[in-house]
Structure 1
Amino acid sequence: MKCALKGSTINLSGSFKHPDNVTVAEKFWTVNPVRGQSISLMNHSDYRDRVQLFQNEEAMFFLRFSNVTHEDEGMYCLRILTGVEKQRFLGFPGPELKVTGTLRVEIPAEIIEGESPVLFCKTTCDLSGKTNFTWYKNGKRLSERIVSDQLLLPSVSSDDTGNYSCAVRDQKHLSSPAVTLSVRYPPKSVSVSISPSGVIVEGDSVTLSCSSDSNPPALIFSWFKENQSSAVGSGQSFSISSFNSSHSGRFYCEAQNKHGSQRSASVSVTVKESSSSLITVAVGISASVCVHVHFFSSHRKRVTSSEEQNPRGSRHSKTLEAPEDTYMTLDPQSRCSEYDTLDNMKRSCENTDDPKAQDPTYYNIVQ
């Protein structure tokens, strides 16, 4: 049986021998011969424009049949007529033609990365044998060395995912419908993104998002903080509200599907303290900061000349009065040289010879 695609062109062949004393008057192809009724295809209106006859040196006779349809199915025989009425010959049975609608590609139900699946180009009848095939991926022809109705894909990866089709050689216009081959694989290229992406200030809400390349898509996500044995969160997004320094550290996520899992590289998440917190810390870190600041009295008082006069004699003898709306400024550095905190400053100044330094009202300082 000869199988042909609808719309394709095929060749049917046959040969015969006869005694030397027989003169051949006519040779032609006929279809579904009936005794006493042999119609030449060349004279039939349904065939004459679609058939051609050829003969080679070995006395092989060929029928080239173009644009075949389902109505062309049947048995084709070579008929030989001689000059003698009763000397007629029929090559029976002849090749039987079966016409199929389209090609189709068959692939395994599930293909996992690393496997070596085989794709088949099939029809309702068998086109194999001497028929050469062409394979296409995403409309682009694969290697010319592939001429079989089977396509082997060794050790597939995600790169082999695509739309595959096949055709009988030189008849791309009759190729099969494309079939999508999808390679299954575990998560890869797992990464973490941070929102907001800029500087994180104490009190901000921070969201970490996990992404991956996998087939099927990963549905299980776990979040970890380095140096902690158990997960700190789950889900594709992980949020921390009111972020503070205790949350700082390196985080990573793990994506998982039914074929495996993979973890991301860790990302560092740190917090920049607010400006108010920085001032508080700066004042409390070291007493050396106090060296560069002045202390302001909260009590406004009048200063007499006797209180302000230099004990060793000063040419300023009249009474001095501070303006009502100002604060008196005490510069400890002008009174004593050895100080670093308020307590140390008081103890140091208690040992001075300056009598005003012994006045308890002299250090009227808000602490």
Structure 2
Amino acid sequence: MSVTTAARGFVLFLLTVPVIQGQRAYDVKYTSTEICGLRGSTVDISCTYTYPRRVGYHDTTVQESFWFIRESNGICADLKSEPDYSGPVEYLCDNNRCTLTIKDLRESDAALYKFRFITNQSGGSLTGSPGVTLSVTDLQVQVDILHEYQFYSQTKLTCQSSCLPDHSSFIWYEGQSKVTEGATYSANFYSSDSISCAVKGHESFHSPSVLIQRQKGYDVKYTSTEICGFRGSTVDISCTYTYPRRVGNQDTTVQKTFWFIKESNEIYADLKSEPDYSGRVEYLCDNNRCTLTIKDLRESDAALYKFRFITNQSGGRCTGSPGVTLSVRDPQLQINVRSLGHFSPWKELTCHSSCQLPDDLSYVWYNNGQEVGGKTKYLHLRVFSPTDSYHCEHGSIRSPSVYAPKLPSVSVSPSGQIVEGSSVTLTCSSDANPEATCIWYKNQTLIKGAERIYRLSPISSEDRGRYECSCQNLYGTTTRTSKYLHVQYAPKSPSVSVSPSGQIVEGSSVTLTCSSDANPEATCIWSKNQTLIKGAERIYRLSSISSEDRGLYECSCQNLYGTRRTSKYVDVLYAPKLPSVSVSPSGQIVEGSSVTLTCSADANPAATYTWYKDNEDSVKATGHIFTITDIRPEHGGQYYCQVKNTRGSHSAMFSLDVTVSTEVLKTAITGTTAAVLFVMVLLTIIFLMRKKRTSEQPSEPGDRANHSEQPGPHRNMMKQRENEEWSVVEYSAVRFRSRGQETVEDQTALYNVVKTPAH
């Protein structure tokens, strides 16, 4: 097989294996592999990355991208999850370019930084190599003595850093006061001056100060100006010192070196002479370097330590400034935990000291008292059980155990009964390390903003219910613990229900129920029309309701915190009751006057009234009042009113008997007799006159007058008729008198007769 054919076959093979082809397309390129940053400044570390847009039939998407500095067993820790980088790091990733920004650079930030991205493809992840090495440096002041005289030295100071370009501009300070600008600072120094420099534009980040002594060339520099030590441990504090080898014609020799913490009027107390340090301090000084060793550290050893040396030259002595600040802390280890990525189930536990210890120290890890893991500062866990309890040890120092929260407990303050309007505090407590955060739920709904302590002030009846508390920390979340909160309060406005609902018909069964929200439960009683119903409680039953039961029912509910009332009108529907009919006026009725008949009946709903006259089909009147004007004898007869509503009807018969009184008859007869006598007298006179005339003239036989007149009696009889469907029959007799004549006696009568219907 030729080389060309083999190559083609290999290419074809790659095309048929999408995963292998895709892997070759994954790449990360760094803009620079070495970056230097100045302490306190901000630095950007950038890269570009590539990947196949499509593998097989699947488009490629980036699911996660991050920077890291530590890797363990193939697990890369996202830099944002590192405790030391919390806050000062940012990612800016767009268009396959990702930039890591680190602010406020510290010397501990010096490390090898790498970028990693993960896609949705199988095996589609890559860590860029070789990474970017970041070095962090500080500004340094270089001191060059140009010329010595007896009382001063002409000195040139240069501000420099390996991370700065040659054209950088600097600002010089004596103490905190600005004195000049420029790359160098030359001056004659007559007294001890503390000089520092800063890059222009970054004035908040000064170089370490240097002490320019008036003694020509005398100086002390400390290895570190701040040291932390464990109580009971041993600590070393070091410095280097310089001096002119010769002054004039005399060589310089160091006569005394010592450390001190106390100074008074230019008198310095050697630390070895201090009673509290007896037997615990040692000096090791050689080749212009001197180290102070303090054993069995105590909290009282925390102080500012300075070094002083004295030479054989006149005035040839120096005290180092600013000195070394020693802090003494309890020997304490803490465990920090963080996730190793957004989608990673792994957690990293770090054994962290209250004083910064080297990472290469030996640590021992324990879970529930059993040794686990390697002898490293870090422990990686995939699963953290609720029953796990981890701690680490370094020598005789042991960290507190870390564990998930235990089942929380809930307390209520004040204890006892809770009354509406008071203030109540709910507290959720759970044993956990680190301390757990707790949240509250009410009736399974999260209470917004509620934390471990939840206050209700003032509490109301709506706040009653079941409260649940759940706690969590970095190692787990508890199940919920619940507490039912009972709130006592006066009855709320009662509600009244009527069963069955709708219209209430006479004779049916009705139940009135009074309900009121109250705690403790309220007792409820009924009253009708402001009269207490004896024995009636929350539920009042009327088994066969009648029209007399209608009215305003009031329900009153009471407990030991108050009383509330409400009312309900109960309306009962029923057919018209027995009607009654009345006549007005009730005395004598003068012919031509008016008579008013009134028919009344109790009914619900309201009834209609219709008037009829016997043997007449037409309606005489409607409404419960019937008025007859200009009454005459022919108005007599039987009347009845019909009362009717949707529930039924009832009728009442009324007989109106119109008769002429005996006085009227007597008056009529008297008048007729007088007229007849008058006519007879008149006829007699005429007759006598004619007779005389006749006597004077011959009479004609055969003429004879015969007059006979007898008035017939007038009687008007009242007829009575009973209808079996009517329950009421009423009789009325009305007597008349002629206008302008006196009546001898008044015998007008009105009769009302109630008769039971025939069965």
Q: Give yes or no for the alignment of 1:281 onto 2:579.
A: yes
CA distance in 1, matches of 2:597, 2:502: 34
Report if the CA contact (8 A) 1:339-1:348 is conserved.
Answer: no
Q: Secondary structure at the match of 1:358?
A: coil
Aligned mates of 2:389, 2:502 — CA distance in 1: 74
Partner of 1:224: helix, strand, or coil? strand
Give the C-alpha shift of residue 271 in structure 1: 3.4
Match of 1:268 among 547, 557, 569: 569
Q: 1:24 to 1:157 in 2, by over 3 A?
A: closer
Gaps of 5+ in 1: 4-8, 52-65, 80-89, 297-332
More strand by share: 2
1:143 matches 2:444:
no
* CA displacement, residues 62-86 of structure 1 (integer Å, 9 cap, x when unaligned): xxxx62544536xx3442xxxxxxx
What is the SS of the residue equivalent to 1:26? coil
Q: Is the 8 A contact 1:225 1:232 kept in 2?
A: no
Verify: 1:118 aligned to 2:425, yes or no. yes
Cα pair 2:655 2:720 within 8 Å, conserved: no
Distance change in 2, residues 1:42/1:142 (3 Å):
farther
> Which residue identity is paired with 2:718?
Y
Separation in 2 of the partners of 1:292 and 1:268? Answer: 37
Instruction: Check conservation: 1:207, 1:238, Cα contact below 8 A.
Output: yes
Q: 1:16 to 1:246 in 2, by over 3 A?
A: closer
Q: Does 1:190 align with 2:529?
A: no
- Quick one: which of 645, 653, 658 aligns to 1:346? 658
- CA deviation string 1:36-72 (max 9, x = no partner): xx9663369xx95428xxxxxxxxxxxxxx6254453
Larger Rg: 2
Mapped contact 1:138–1:164 kept (Cα < 8 A): yes
Counterpart pick for 2:389 among 72, 75, 82? 72
CA–CA distance in 1 between the matches of 2:360 and 2:508?
Answer: 102
One-letter amino acid of the structure 1 residue matched with residue 614 of structure 2? H
Matched residue, 2:530: 227
- Paired residue total: 279
Task: State the SS of the aligned residue for 1:159.
Answer: helix
TM-fit CA distance, 1:357:
5.7
Do the aligned partners of 2:546 and 2:572 also contact (CA within 8 Å) in 1?
yes
Distance in 1 separating the partners of 2:510 and 2:713 = 58
C-alpha separation in 1, matches of 2:473 and 2:713 = 115
Question: Are the structure 2 counterparts of residues 364 and 223 from structure 1 closer, same or farther at C-alpha, using a change threshold of 3 Å?
Answer: same
Which residue of 2 is the match for residue 305 of structure 1?
none
CA apart distance, 1:233: 3.8
CA–CA distance in structure 2, aligned partners of residues 263 and 116 of structure 1: 28
Quote the Cα distance in structure 1 between the aligned partners of 2:552 and 2:372: 87
Q: In the TM superposition, what are the counterparts of 1:264-343 in structure 2 within 5 Å? A: 264=566, 266-275=567-576, 277=577, 280-281=578-579, 283=581, 287=597, 292-294=612-614, 336-337=634-635
Q: Cα gap change, 1:355/1:11 in structure 2, threshold over 3 Å: closer, same or farther?
A: farther
Partner residue of 1:50? Answer: 381
1:132 to 432, 437, 456: 437
1:181 to 481, 485, 497: 485
Q: 1:28 aligns with which of 363, 367, 388?
A: 363
Say if 1:116 and 1:355 are closer, same or farther in 2 by CA, change over 3 A.
Answer: farther
Change in 2 beyond 3 A, CA 1:233/1:102: same
- Alignment-derived partner of residue 363 in structure 1: 718
C-alpha change, 1:25 and 1:12, in structure 2 (3 Å) is closer
Pair 223,177 (structure 1): closer, same or farther in 2 beyond 3 Å: same
| Alignment check: 8 A CA contact 1:224 1:233 kept | no
Q: Which residue of 2 aligns with 1:161?
A: 464
Equivalent AA in structure 2 for residue 142 of structure 1: I
**Superposed CA RMSD:** 4.6
Q: Which structure would you say has the larger RCO, counting Cα contacts within 8 Å and 6 or more residues apart?
A: 1
- Indicate whether 1:105 and 2:460 are aligned: no
Return the alpha-carbon distance in structure 1 between the equivalents of residues 461 and 506 of structure 2: 43
Structure 2 residue aligned with 1:252: 554
Question: How far off is 1:131 after superposition?
Answer: 4.6
Residues 138, 248 of structure 1: CA spacing in aligned structure 2 closer, same or farther, 3 A cutoff?
A: closer
Provide closer, same or farther for how the CA distance between residues 117 and 363 of structure 1 changes in structure 2, counting only shifts above 3 A: same
Q: Which amino acid aligns with 1:227?
A: Q
Q: Percent identity?
A: 24
Change (3 A) 1:11 1:191: farther
TM-score (norm. length: structure 2): 0.31
| Structure 2 residue corresponding to 1:14, chosen from 334, 337, 353 | 353
Look up the equivalent residue of 2:463 and give its one-letter code: D
Match of 1:95 in 2: 400
Distance change >3 Å, CA 101–CA 237, structure 1 → 2: same
**Aligned partners of 2:372, 2:469: CA distance in 1, in Å?**
35
The residue type paired with residue 498 of structure 2 is: I
Q: Hey, what's the Cα distance between the residues in 1 that align with 2:660 and 2:350?
A: 120
The alpha-carbon distance between structure 1 residues 267 and 28, as it changes in their structure 2 partners (threshold 3 A), is: same
- Quick check: 193-202 or 167-176, which moved more? 167-176
One-letter amino acid matched to 2:373: L
Q: Deviations over 1:313-335 (max 9, x none)?
A: xxxxxxxxxxxxxxxxxxxx996
CA deviations on 1:101-126 (whole Å, 9 max, x unpaired) are 31232334542221211111123x36
Whole-Å Cα distance in 2 between the matches of residues 346 and 165 of structure 1? 93
SS in 2 for 1:235: coil
**What letter corresponds to residue 381 of structure 2 in structure 1?**
R
Distance 2:466 2:563 in 1: 27
Amino acid at match of 2:400: P
